[in-house]
Every structure is written in structure tokens, then in C-alpha cells.
């Protein structure tokens, strides 16, 4: 590979945002027929670099060559012209158009008389989607798709654009394991057809499964580019954080017999039924399930966000009224959502405003928000979670993805919860920050908070939870302790292959 001429050469790229040097002197060679992983902690500059290559951002300095010729990528249309497509970290489809229209937007096939050729469009859309083995229909409106289905449509759209260089910015963060596998097979195929793929992911395991080379960025600088076969995951992690990381998962402690939360026969007709479990003091309880298992729905019902039909919930022996979000929050039962963009944060608002939004009382005096205590408090929380930020008044949207996720967690810690149900709390978060969050959750459990974690990442569930509940098609099919749980038997229960 190295004896070949690079398809694309990137030299000396700088990018300054107000107050942040996002990229400094970054150079990179990209070859045909390679999956080239880009790794780095949250805020390292990965998305910024990809946005420059795909024309969404202009660099301050630096040169880009394609097949040895200097090119100027001034906007996304230029990038498309050069065969560069990108799937952005945050979803960007038009919710009110259907799947086929989204895929063909801006280049609808025409019949005579300039009529749109819907038949061809839908046929081609179906052919692409079939490669992903999904049941998504070309005519479904994008707003009716789940996050993971939308992600698949984004990827499908990028690969139809006749691309030579495909950039994927954390494509699997919203995908299930089997959807990820399908994606990897497709990427392999694209690679063999000569396409260069730039692949950003925080999941080190998948990077080692699919990439041939790995580039690591740290604090906006290029640290190294290595052949994947010549490094270990530990090497990559230490390049990323600039130090050795040991003891990735915290010690699991000794849970007591004391019941914090008791859920009895919680049921929502047609979605989940007869869910019963207990949460003990000092434990982290994991909930695992595949897409459609009903985990998120059950958690939302439990916390009073969505209606439930039957069941009862007690916390520290006291009954919590169902179907009443106010009384859930007042009792300290809190759900931290998965989708930070849609449900959790006010992106255009600043860090202070977001952090105190859930608990204005804590920073108010005589009914007015006290600015000083607001900023003292915000700074304290951001430092506790090690958020990388410039100042308290920058918008949340100007933070990197992983740092946004930490702000979301900080926001809910602000309401001083007693029981937290966290839905995919480390999605899109780098290894260092992930480990910090695991330790924070463990400290909370040891301090007597109830901690329930919904996660699709088996190593995470096994690594931090004392017990694991497995859901399948709206039912609780297994309760395992961390001693008798393995990736294999959890998957067997989750896919309905064991009873
Ligand atoms: N529009 C913007 N305005 C100001 N600062 C920005 C903007 N976009 C990114 N930054 C800053 O530039 C730096 C690099 O951000 P970038 O999004 O490239 O990181 P990343 O490596 O993709 O991180 P993550 O893994 O969290 O997605 C961060 O410090 C971020 O806060
Ligand atoms: Mg990013």
C-alpha cells in the first residue's frame, strides 16, 4: 500500500475557532483501497478535519491534493465533485421527506417533461437498503424512523453519491451490533472496489476489526499514523491520551441487601409487560436488549415520562405515583435520555443555561437566578466531569460531541437525583472520558444513589454492572449477576435464543 501514490494528500492544515486552536499543522495521506481510522479523545479535532475535507469548513492554512493535483474545497458541492462524501456525526436528513427523497435530494431522476421518476428512485433506494438487510421502506418519512434507521439512510445516501473517498464520523454510535456488522461488510466491499474510507470511531475494538491504518490526533495535532497490524489497542489508547491508562473499569464494590427501588409488574400494553425487578443500594444495575426490546420505553414509563397501564413502583419503601413526571422528579427518580440533540440539551444556549435548566432552585435567591452562584456551580460541575470548554457562555453546540454528552450528564446530576436511569450514557464518548463517567457512576452507587444503566455495549455492561437485566420483545427474560454473565449468554437471552 505504502509504495502506491496516495489518492489524497493533506498538508499543514490549521484551523482556529474563537478561543480554540482546533487543528495545527495536520498532515495526512489517504490511499485507495484502505479503511483509515481516525482516533482521538473528545475535542481532538477529528470532526473539524473531516468537515474541512468535505467542504463544510474552510481551513485557515494548508493544502489538499487529489491524485497529485492541488484542489480547493470551498463548499460541500466542490467536495461532491471530487468524489468526497461524508456522513456527519450528527444526523442531517430532512425529517419531512421520505427515505427515497432524502437519498436522491438535489439529483432526482427525471422522466420526459421533467417529471420526477419516482419509480426508478424507489427501486434504486430499495436496492441500496437491501444491502443493509433492513426493513426500511423507501416511502417512509424520515421522521418516523428510529435514530439507527436514520443513520443507515445517511450512510446509504453517502455511498450512492459515486464517491471515491467516503468519510464516516462515528457511524456506529447509534447502530446495534448486527447493524454494525452489516455496515462493516459493506465498507469492506466498497474498499475492495477501490474506495478510500476515513472512519472515525471511539470503539477501539471495531477499529481493529476493520481498519488497515490508524491515525491518532491529540489536541489538534497529528500524533502518529500506523499500520493497524503493527499496534495494539493499548498503544492506540496511550497515543490518544498521551499517558498509559490502567484499570479501565472501577472496582465493583459490595452492594447491600437494602432495596432502593422496587418495580412491580410494570406494563404498557403492546410495548412491554410485567416488568419486575429490584435495585439494591451500592449496585449498578445494567439493562441490555437489542433494538425493539423495549428498554427505553420501559425506563421512560418508569420515570413518568410516557404513560403506563399497570404496575407499581416504590422508592425507599414509598410508592411513586405513576404517569406523573413531576412527582417522579420531585421524588428524585430521573431519566437521562439517550439522544442529546433531541431530548436532552438546548444546543444554542450556553453552558450555564443548560446546566441549571433542570434545577433553577439551586442557584436562585428570592425567586431570581443568582448569576454568581450559577457560574460557580456550573464551573464546579464542568470540572468534576472534566469537560473541555472555553468559557461558561459558549453555546453547547460549539463543544465536541463527547463533551456535549458530559454536559447532559452534569445537567441531570444538578437535580440531585436519588435514582438515575441513564440511557446509553457513554455513547460517542472517548475511552478516557468514558472511564471517568464509569468512575463517577460507581462513586454515586457507593454513596447510596441508585444507578441503572441502559447500554448496548456488552463490554461496558459487563465491566461496570453488578447485575444485568436482559429484555427481549418487551419482556424481562433474564437477571444475571456479573459473575455468571458473559457476552455470549447475554446475547443468547437478548436474541430470544434462550429461555
Ligand atoms: N463551531 C465551533 N466553534 C467553536 N469551537 C469549535 C467549533 N467546532 C468545534 N470546536 C472546538 O474545536 C475542537 C475540536 O472539536 P471537534 O469537534 O473537531 O472534536 P472531535 O475530535 O470530533 O471530538 P468528539 O470525539 O467529541 O466528536 C474542540 O475544542 C471544540 O470545542
Ligand atoms: Mg466529533
Region of residue 265 (phi > 0: left; psi between -120 and 50: alpha; otherwise: beta) = left
3-state SS, residue 52: helix
pLDDT at 135: 85
Question: Mean pLDDT across the stretch 311-335?
Answer: 93
Question: Mean pLDDT across the stretch 39-51?
Answer: 91
What mean pLDDT value characterizes the chain?
88
Q: Does the structure show a pLDDT above 60 at 343?
A: no
Say how far apart CA 216 and CA 214 lie, in whole Å: 7
Q: Name the more confident of 499 and 256.
A: 256
Which cell numbers hold the place of 271? Answer: 410495548
Question: Mean pLDDT across the stretch 135-144?
Answer: 92
Q: State pTM to two decimals.
A: 0.70
pLDDT at 369: 66
Question: Mean pLDDT across the stretch 427-448?
Answer: 84
Question: Mean pLDDT across the stretch 4-8?
Answer: 92
Question: Mean pLDDT across the stretch 292-304?
Answer: 92
Which cell numbers hold the place of 99? Answer: 427515505
Q: Which atom of ligand 1 is nearest to the CA of 46?
A: 21
CA 141–ligand 2 middle distance (angstroms): 27
Say how far apart CA 425 and CA 406 lie, in whole Å: 9
- The architecture that CATH gives domain 259-332+417-494 is 3-Layer(aba) Sandwich (3.40)
Question: Mean pLDDT across the stretch 101-107?
Answer: 86
Question: Mean pLDDT across the stretch 315-342?
Answer: 87
Q: Which residues of the chain does CATH 3.40.50.300 include? A: 8-241, 259-332+417-494
CA 47–ligand 1 middle distance (angstroms): 7
Q: Does the structure show a pLDDT above 80 at 352?
A: yes
CA 356–ligand 1 middle distance (angstroms): 23
Quick one: DSSP state of residue 321?
P
What ligand is nearest to the CA atom of residue 201? 1
Task: Give the residue whose CA is nearest to atom 10 of ligand 1.
Answer: 398
| pLDDT > 90 fraction of the chain, expressed in percent and rounded | 49
Question: Mean pLDDT across the stretch 199-204?
Answer: 89
Contact 201, 170 (CB under 8 A): yes
Instruction: Return the CATH class of domain 8-241.
Output: alpha beta
Edge to edge, what strands does the sheet with 196-200 contain? 84-87, 165-169, 196-200, 34-39, 213-218, 221-227
pLDDT at 111: 84
Q: Name the more confident of 157 and 23.
A: 23
pLDDT tens sequence across 225-263: 999 999 998 889 888 877 655 557 888 888 999 999 999
In this predicted structure, which of 168-172, 218-222, 364-368 has the lowest mean pLDDT? 364-368
- Picking from 247, 249, 242, 340, the residue whose alpha carbon sits closest to that of residue 39 is 242
Task: Give the residue whose CA is nearest to atom 27 of ligand 1.
Answer: 401
- Residues with a CB atom less than 6 Å from ligand 1: 17, 20, 22, 40, 42-48, 89, 388, 398-403, 430
Contact 425, 438 (CB under 8 A): no
pLDDT at 175: 76
pLDDT at 176: 74
100: confidence class by pLDDT, cuts 50, 70, 90: very high
Task: Give the residue whose CA is nearest to atom 22 of ligand 1.
Answer: 47
Q: Name the more confident of 140 and 338.
A: 140
Question: Mean pLDDT across the stretch 162-170?
Answer: 90
In this predicted structure, which of 174-183, 307-316, 341-350 has the lowest mean pLDDT? 341-350
pLDDT at 243: 60
Amino acid at each position: 500500500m505504502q509504495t502506491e501514490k496516495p489518492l489524497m494528500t493533506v498538508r499543514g492544515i490549521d484551523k482556529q475557532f474563537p478561543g480554540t486552536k482546533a487543528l495545527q499543522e495536520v498532515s495526512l495521506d489517504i490511499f485507495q483501497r484502505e479503511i483509515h481510522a481516525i482516533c482521538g479523545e473528545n475535542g481532538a479535532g477529528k470532526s473539524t478535519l473531516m468537515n474541512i475535507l468535505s467542504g463544510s469548513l474552510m481551513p485557515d492554512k494548508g493544502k489538499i491534493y487529489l491524485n497529485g493535483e492541488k484542489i480547493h474545497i470551498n463548499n460541500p458541492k466542490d467536495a461532491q465533485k471530487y468524489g468526497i462524501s461524508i456522513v456527519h456525526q450528527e444526523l442531517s436528513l430532512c425529517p419531512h421527506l421520505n427515505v427515497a427523497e432524502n437519498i436522491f435530494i438535489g439529483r432526482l431522476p427525471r422522466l420526459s417533461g421533467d417529471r420526477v421518476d419516482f419509480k426508478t428512485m424507489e427501486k434504486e433506494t430499495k436496492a441500496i437498503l437491501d444491502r443493509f438487510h433492513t426493513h426500511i421502506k423507501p416511502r417512509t418519512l424520515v421522521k418516523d424512523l428510529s435514530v439507527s434507521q436514520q443513520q443507515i439512510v445517511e450512510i446509504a445516501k453517502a455511498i450512492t453519491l459515486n464517491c471515491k473517498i467516503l468519510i464516516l464520523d462515528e457511524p456506529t454510535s447509534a447502530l446495534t451490533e448486527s447493524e454494525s456488522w452489516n455496515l462493516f461488510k459493506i465498507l469492506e466491499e466498497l474498499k475492495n472496489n477501490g474506495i478510500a474510507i476515513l472512519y472515525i470511531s471511539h470503539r477501539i475494538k471495531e477499529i481493529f476489526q476493520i481498519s488497515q491504518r490508524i491515525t491518532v490526533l491529540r489536541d489538534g495535532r497529528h500524533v502518529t499514523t500506523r499500520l493497524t497490524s503493527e499496534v495494539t489497542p493499548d498503544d492506540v489508547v496511550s497515543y490518544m491520551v498521551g499517558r498509559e491508562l490502567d484499570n479501565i473499569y472501577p472496582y465493583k464494590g459490595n452492594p447491600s441487601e437494602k432495596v432502593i427501588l422496587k418495580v412491580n409488574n410494570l406494563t404498557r400494553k403492546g410495548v412491554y409487560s410485567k416488568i419486575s425487578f429490584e435495585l439494591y443500594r451500592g449496585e449498578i444495575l445494567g439493562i441490555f436488549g437489542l433494538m425493539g426490546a423495549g428498554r427505553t420505553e420501559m425506563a421512560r414509563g418508569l420515570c413518568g415520562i410516557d404513560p403506563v397501564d399497570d404496575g407499581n413502583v416504590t422508592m425507599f419503601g414509598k410508592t411513586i405515583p405513576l404517569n406523573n413526571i413531576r412527582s417522579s422528579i420531585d421524588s428524585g427518580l430521573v431519566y437521562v435520555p439517550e439522544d442529546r440533540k433531541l431530548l436532552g440539551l438546548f444546543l444554542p444556549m450556553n453552558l450555564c443555561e443548560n446546566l441549571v435548566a433542570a434545577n433553577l432552585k439551586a442557584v436562585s435567591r428570592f425567586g431570581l437566578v443568582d448569576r454568581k452562584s450559577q457560574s460557580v456551580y456550573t464551573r464546579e460541575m464542568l470540572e468534576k466531569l472534566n469537560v473541555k470548554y472555553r468559557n461558561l457562555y459558549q453555546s453547547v453546540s460549539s463543544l465536541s460531541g463527547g463533551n456535549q454528552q458530559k454536559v447532559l450528564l452534569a445537567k441531570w446530576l444538578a437535580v440531585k437525583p436519588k435514582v438515575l436511569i441513564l440511557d446509553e450514557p457513554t455513547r460517542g464518548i472517548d475511552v478516557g472520558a468514558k472511564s471517568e463517567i464509569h468512575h463517577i457512576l460507581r462513586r454515586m452507587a457507593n454513596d447510596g444513589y441508585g444507578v441503572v444503566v441502559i447500554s448496548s455495549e456488552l463490554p461496558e455492561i459487563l465491566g461496570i454492572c453488578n447485575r444485568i437485566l436482559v429484555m427481549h420483545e418487551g419482556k424481562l427474560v433474564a437477571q444475571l449477576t456479573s459473575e455468571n454473565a458473559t457476552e455470549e449468554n447475554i446475547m443468547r437471552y437478548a436474541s430470544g435464543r434462550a429461555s
